[in-house]
Structure 1
Amino acid sequence: MTFEPTDLGRSKADLAETLRTLRRQAGLSGDRLALRCGMSQSKISKIETGRATPSPVDVERILRALNAPSSLVAEIVALARIANTEWQDARNLRRKGLDKKQAELAELEKSAREFRFFLLSMITGLLSTPDYVKATLAHIPGDHSRAIARKLDRQAVLYDRSKSFTFVLTEQAVRWPILRPAAMAVQIDHLASLSRLPSVRLGVIPIGGYLPSCPLNTFTVYDSRMATVEVSTGAMVFRDPRDVRSYLDEFTGYERCALFGDEARARLSEWSDMCRGDL
């Protein structure tokens, strides 16, 4: 399916209106429909007014209860999938303020319990030294002191033992030289240190190892309910369970190819020493 950014903004309202219209055409009240599809009346009301976004599975249940034809079911379920997808434009985020995005991420990290990060080309902010964080924002004009401070503040979540973090980094992500060699060595040593935290499981995939597929993007999966996929101009946010499952499966494949524990730390030490050798 092709997603147009304008569709992503309009689809939630379209979906709510379509489901409301179909129920009325079927001559059913909200209570009767709720009984037929095994949902609460309040949930049906929230879906039809756009206050809640139904999953594609919810939409299928509603349409089956309305005896909708298969062709219409396929069309509206496709609309539901778009409604469960969000496009976050990088330029808009910068205009609003990068610190606001950090606040949103902090709230997301507060509510989730299990995190899976696949890092293809860079180290994520949760694992970054202050120098690395500054370097990742250096190409963006303006004062980013508040965003940097909030990024660093977010790292406290790694010490929350009620949460579980699994990071899988490619060698390219670990070693991409956005800092001078001495600072890169410190950053790599920092990864090794964080790998010993009880809540953190950190793996690396060395170049030359086997990968079951060709990774295209950095992505993060929050619990089993949401996946965010980064591209150079922004990020896609997926909430459709089938999309999230797809990224969970992809992550599992990379996880199987990664080195963890002492093996990962030995490789990180080797890469750190190589940076220091460049001095």
Structure 2
Amino acid sequence: MTTDYQQARESLGIRLRELRISCSGGRLSGAQLADRLGAGWTKSKVSKLENGKQTAVADDLRAWADATGHPEAYDGLLAQLRGFESHIRSWRRQLASGHKPVQDAITSEHERTRVLTIWENNLVPGMLQTADYARHVFTRHSDLYQSPRDTEEAVRARIRRQEGLYEPGRKYRITMWEAALYSQVCPPSVLAAQLDRLASVIGLDTVELGIVPFAATLGIYPGNGFWIYDERRVVVEDWHAELWLDDSNTVGTYLRVWKTLQESALYGTDARAVINRARQVLSAS
């Protein structure tokens, strides 16, 4: 993904250089263009944008197109930017208005999805979170990213999305590593209720909940969590950003990863036993 993103950024830089060289008033040097662009622009910034070392924003592209005498090029530049930027959604930008808009965006994906395939290695998936558990997760994220606190609105949006668990025709294939059962991102009493909630969904006809125990032999290491929507898109969370990946080869890779991890999972009464074991450890601590 980093390579694809960098290639797209370099491609945009090449187009920016073409516009500078073909300026309607004659070719401009990087320093001359920076002077024409004005405050906040330097020769170094021009160079970084042209060489794919810095990501432009929409205002940069508008200013560039106007300064080089090619205002008609703006729409094309913006389309290029959106084409690769939409795949890497930085948390800083997404959370600028709080968590609820992020929840609303992912809800639209859920609504058009019939089969949702999930791997989580360190948290209970949002689709199965209790309100109290989700509240603590959102609060910790807000602290980390110093984003607006719209915790209650975000919790309500996440819980409403769980109505899909009870809609006929949907399928949630959820596989978790046992470590997620012990992650105390909330007080013990909240985690205990969350574990009870997990055990309660086992047996729902829309849910296939598998737990990969610590002692299981793994076909591959348990990396980042990811969500696959109808085999058309995979969403991967990292600390700096959320990655939305659409190409079929990438989606296929994540499906293979999920299937490999899923082979080590326990289901039904065996999965419930793993959850109960975590519950007992929590009660004894």
TM-score, structure 1 as length reference: 0.70
1 CA distance for matches of 2:205 and 2:161? 17
Q: How many residues align?
A: 210
Match of 1:70 in 2: none
1 CA distance for matches of 2:222 and 2:190? 27
Match of 1:91 in 2: 92
Deviations 1:220-254 (A, max 9, x none): 11111111111111111111101101111110001
The answer (yes or no) to whether the contact 2:226–2:237 under 8 Å persists in 1 is yes
2 CA distance for matches of 1:211 and 1:198? 27
2 CA distance for matches of 1:259 and 1:233? 32
- 2:275 is aligned, of 250, 255, 268, to 268
Q: Kindly name which structure, 1 or 2, has the bigger radius of gyration based on alpha carbons.
A: 2
CA RMSD in angstroms, aligned pairs only = 2.3
The answer (yes or no) to whether the contact 2:100–2:150 under 8 Å persists in 1 is no
Deviations 1:59-113 (A, max 9, x none): xxxxxxxxxxxxxxxxxxxx9xx85970011111110332111111111111011
Per-residue deviation, 1:10: 7.4
SS in 2 for 1:257: coil
Match of 2:214 in 1: 207
When residues 107 and 197 of structure 1 are mapped into structure 2, their CA distance, relative to the original with a 3 A threshold, is same
- Structure 2 letter corresponding to 1:112: T
2 CA distance for matches of 1:220 and 1:3? 20
Match of 1:161 in 2: 168
Q: Which blocks of at least 5 consecutive residues in structure 1 are unaligned?
A: 15-78
1 CA distance for matches of 2:8 and 2:241? 16
Per-residue deviation, 1:137: 1.3
2 CA distance for matches of 1:102 and 1:89? 14
The answer (yes or no) to whether the contact 1:195–1:202 under 8 Å persists in 2 is yes
2 CA distance for matches of 1:234 and 1:84? 11
SS in 2 for 1:138: helix
2 CA distance for matches of 1:147 and 1:207? 32
2 CA distance for matches of 1:240 and 1:84? 15
2 CA distance for matches of 1:230 and 1:171? 19
2 CA distance for matches of 1:85 and 1:258? 33
- Structure 2 letter corresponding to 1:161: P
- 1:238 is aligned, of 230, 245, 266, to 245
2 CA distance for matches of 1:83 and 1:260? 39
The answer (yes or no) to whether the contact 1:117–1:219 under 8 Å persists in 2 is yes
Percent of aligned positions that are identical: 24
Match of 2:187 in 1: 180
Q: Which blocks of at least 5 consecutive residues in structure 2 are unaligned?
A: 16-79
Runs of 4+ aligned residues of structure 1 deviating over 6 Å after TM superposition are: 8-11
- Structure 1 letter corresponding to 2:114: R
Match of 1:125 in 2: 126
When residues 3 and 258 of structure 1 are mapped into structure 2, their CA distance, relative to the original with a 3 A threshold, is same
Per-residue deviation, 1:9: 11
1 CA distance for matches of 2:151 and 2:276? 31
TM-score, structure 2 as length reference: 0.69
1 CA distance for matches of 2:9 and 2:199? 40
